[in-house]
Amino acid sequence: MNNLFVYCEIEDGVIADVSLELLTKGRSLATQLGCQLEAIVVGNHLEGIEKQVFPYGVDRLHIFDDTRLAPYTSLPHTSLLVNLFKEEKPQICLMGATVIGRDLGPRVSSALKSGLTADCTSLEIGSHEDKKEGKTYENLLYQIRPAFGGNIVATIINPEHRPQMATVREGVMKKEVYNADFKGETICHEVDKYVSDTDFVVSVLERNVAKAKNNLKGAPIIVSGGYGTGSKDNFKLLFDLAKVLNAEVGASRAAVDAGFCEHDRQIGQTGITVRPKLYIACGISGQIQHIAGMQESSIIISINSDPNAPINTIADYVITGSIEEVIPKLIKSYKKNSK
């Protein structure tokens, strides 16, 4: 009762990285709140799934295993969570801001009349004083996300209704094993108690999943370009540098909108979130929308002709100069010193 729940997505028997990131954050929040961390896994052939989940500090694992539950469809997954939450009455529920999370989260929150904050970039626990009502609320979930086109960072709270629900983007939270030998309680639920036959009115006849063209999320080095690269031809220099460094190429929204790069390489609030060991920002001004997607990088190098570019304030190293001048020199220097 009143515990913190994380809905774990699963694909081909593997828990999604975003779910493991949320379990890591959930463990920290649950410890702070003095409650249990509980996980939900829904799918088919889930034998041994505990080995993937328990090392992240999960106290209780709820398993719904049925051939009808994979691949994901909206109605049965919604019924499972809604009815489980009516029984368990969690205070917090976290999901990934993925295709599934963005479909499932609003359905569950609407059915429970609990509200939901989408695309959070940070989660914290704190208090809130309602001076008008003369009330003080303790241990609320601060659901933090960019708002108004990314021009401000909003902190959203839900004082009255439960569960407090939020979706979080992949890569925003760190994924860390809590205890490799941690053992929690496993609860295998009888699916038919939580769903009705009409929930399975939609069935998946054929499913095609396109593979990603790049590996930005897992790349240790990313060379990223913005509108300041100047042209599509100049942007190609980033691919030359990336090839030498064995890196991936990313882009800001401005560069994508200008046609310099494909949308699937966009990093930032409306793209993907990354946290590489090295992030080389080329011609990127550093608007908050972009910074939200890369600020957790271990080392940031900014290459910019504008010495006062906002991104320089968060960069570990700043190189002032044009892309067409600096990048060829970097390539030449790296080749010379890597022999």
pLDDT in tens, 299-330: 999 999 999 999 999 999 999 999 999 999 99
pLDDT at 117: 93
Residue 10, pLDDT score:
93
SS3 14: strand
Task: Tell me what the pLDDT averaged over the chain comes to.
Answer: 90
Give pLDDT, residue 148: 66
| pLDDT band, residue 187 (cuts 50/70/90) | very high
Confidence (pLDDT) at 202: 82
- Proportion of the chain above pLDDT 70, given as a percent: 97
pLDDT digit string (tens) for 157-173? 998 889 999 999 888 88
Q: Report residue 337 as tokens.
A: 């010193």
Per-residue pLDDT of 108-164, as tens digits, reads 999 999 989 998 888 999 988 887 878 888 889 999 887 766 567 888 899 888 999
* Three-state secondary structure call for residue 328: helix
Contacts of 203 (CB under 8 A, 6+ apart): 73
Mean pLDDT to the nearest integer, 104-108: 95
pTM for this prediction: 0.80
Q: Hey, which bits of the chain come out as E strands?
A: 4-8, 10-11, 14-15, 37-43, 60-65, 92-96, 116-120, 122-130, 135-147, 152-156, 164-168, 185-188, 221-225, 248-251, 278-282, 299-304, 317-320
Give the residue-averaged pLDDT of 245-263. 92
Residue 73, phi then psi, degrees to nearest 5: -135, 150
Angle, helices 99-112/74-88, rounded to nearest 10 degrees = 50
Determine the Cα–Cα distance for residues 277 and 252; give it in Å rounded to an integer: 18
Helix/strand/coil for 79: helix
Q: With bands split at pLDDT 50, 70 and 90, how would you rate the model's confidence at 339?
A: low
